[in-house]
Structure 1
Amino acid sequence: MDEFDLVRIAEKLNSRITHEYHNNTFFKISYDISRAFSGSIFKVLEDVLEEENIIKYEKSHYNKGIKYYQSEKMTVDRVVWLTSYDKVKKGVENYVWKYEILIEHENDGTDWLHEMQKLCSMNAPYKLIITYGRTKNASDGMIATPPNKGVNLLGIAKEIIEYTNDQSCKQLVIMFGEESINLSTNGSKNLYDIYYWDFDKEMKDFDLL
């Protein structure tokens, strides 16, 4: 199995989304109005995946050893997958593949737990959730996270990890953006805080990057 550094990919994505937010008027307007314009987010995400030599899947593609990304495969927003086949016979579905990375984007700072539950119930070594509701920090002037939202739910996220006993996962990363009507960095370097769980390190709780 190929190794990924999902934390590094999340950092790259965070930096790229923040850059687009500050330098692309359409991106900023759509991001602010809808609290997280999924289409804009996914466009940046796909650019980052392609820089990692992960190819967008097309129907003519099905080659051994190539990592593909695809939208809404088996109800997951974006997936990276790998097959053991070079190609399949005409008229036969592409059945022989495995997940490498599962990616979910959830606008609501509460419902991301449902997405996490889903991902922890699926077999894949790398899992990324992009959501909203970062905590207030006295040093950065962020707006206070509403009760039972976003980062405040990390304790329940830990319970999900323990209860599902996810044996497939190597890294689980959660990116939290500010949850407010008008998203902004408010003096913070990037739009998201990154929390991660590295299963190889036998961590007992989420670490903030």
Structure 2
Amino acid sequence: MRAIDFYKAFKANTKEDTVVEGRTLFDIYKKDAEFTPVVTKIIEKIIQEAGYTSQREYFRIDVIGWVSRYEDMKADAEAEGLKVRAHLWNLKIAVEHENSKSDWSDEVMKLIHVKCPLKVIIGYSYSNERGEIERKKLDFVAKWMQEIDALNKGMDEQYLIILGNGCNSEDGSSDYTDFGYVGYLYNWVEKRFKRIGDE
């Protein structure tokens, strides 16, 4: 699964008017703690539809997706006459969802140390800090990513940050009318996050 595929699937599965347990997804969204289990199920669904097995909190990552090669390893061990427990799987995607409007950057740094083709961070910006301030935060994070040795060992990996609307930082109000999700993909040449659609 590529970053753009995950982003499109995420946007398609997070429509404000979708009804979940008698309430719209948008009503649930405005209550951070209540939205987390709902969005986690959406993430798992996307991962499973990509053909991966999903699992929560492995490596203390919110949701991962992997492909099993257990049967191949087991058959090879049996052919070699070995009594070995077969454990063979490939990690394909790691997803972190962070409600804190000021702390999603920690999830970026955490996932740099995990080896897999796609790393996704879903976070939120204060509604009054979208645009220029959000861009400054993304540039700041991209700059400091360069200081982690593990980053340059994974230049074939994709980093996707999806940011949605959060409360207003000045008065705490939910003064937004939609999710406002925007995807940013890390550009290895420019060493910065570029808005999907602007790359």
TM-score (norm 1): 0.71
1:194 matches 2:178: no
Query: Which residue of structure 1 lines up, in the alignment, with residue 81 of structure 2?
Result: none
Query: Which residue of structure 2 lines up, in the alignment, with residue 162 of structure 1?
Result: 146
Query: Which residue of structure 1 lines up, in the alignment, with residue 193 of structure 2?
Result: 206
Percent identical among aligned pairs is 21
The structure-2 alpha-carbon separation of the partners of 1:156 and 1:35, relative to structure 1 and needing over 3 Å to count, comes to farther
1:103 matches 2:88: no
Q: Deviations over 1:25-82 (max 9, x none)?
A: 253332112277111101222222222222xxxxxxxxxxxxx211111100001123
Counterpart CA distance in 2 for 1:106 and 1:45 is: 13
What secondary structure, in the 3-state scheme, does the structure 1 residue paired with 2:106 have?
A: helix
Counterpart CA distance in 1 for 2:62 and 2:143 is: 23
Query: Which residue of structure 2 lines up, in the alignment, with residue 70 of structure 1?
Result: 55
Structure with a larger share of its residues in helix: 2
Counterpart CA distance in 1 for 2:34 and 2:141 is: 22
Query: Which residue of structure 2 lines up, in the alignment, with residue 12 of structure 1?
Result: 9
1:29-40 aligned at under 5 Å gives the runs 29-34=27-32, 37-40=35-38
Q: Deviations over 1:120-162 (max 9, x none)?
A: 112112100000006xxxxxxxx4218xx75542122212331
The structure-2 alpha-carbon separation of the partners of 1:179 and 1:191, relative to structure 1 and needing over 3 Å to count, comes to same
Q: What RMSD over aligned residues (CA atoms) do the two structures have, in Å?
A: 2.9
Query: Which residue of structure 1 lines up, in the alignment, with residue 170 of structure 2?
Result: none
1:171 matches 2:158: yes
1:82 matches 2:73: no
The higher radius of gyration belongs to: 2
Q: Deviations over 1:75-127 (max 9, x none)?
A: 000011234321769xx877433321110000012211111111011211210
Equivalent residue pairs, number: 175
In the TM superposition, residue 179 of structure 1 has moved relative to its aligned partner by 1.3
- Aligned pair partner of 2:42 in 44, 53, 75: 44
Counterpart CA distance in 2 for 1:173 and 1:103 is: 9
Q: Is the 8 A contact 1:33 1:182 kept in 2?
A: no
Output the amino acid matched with 1:126: L
Counterpart CA distance in 1 for 2:148 and 2:96 is: 18
Counterpart CA distance in 1 for 2:70 and 2:187 is: 30
Q: Structure 1: give runs of 5+ residues left out of the alignment.
A: 55-67, 135-142
Output the amino acid matched with 1:12: A
The structure-2 alpha-carbon separation of the partners of 1:30 and 1:5, relative to structure 1 and needing over 3 Å to count, comes to same
Q: Is the 8 A contact 2:143 2:191 kept in 1?
A: no
TM-score (norm 2): 0.74
Q: Is the 8 A contact 2:17 2:24 kept in 1?
A: no
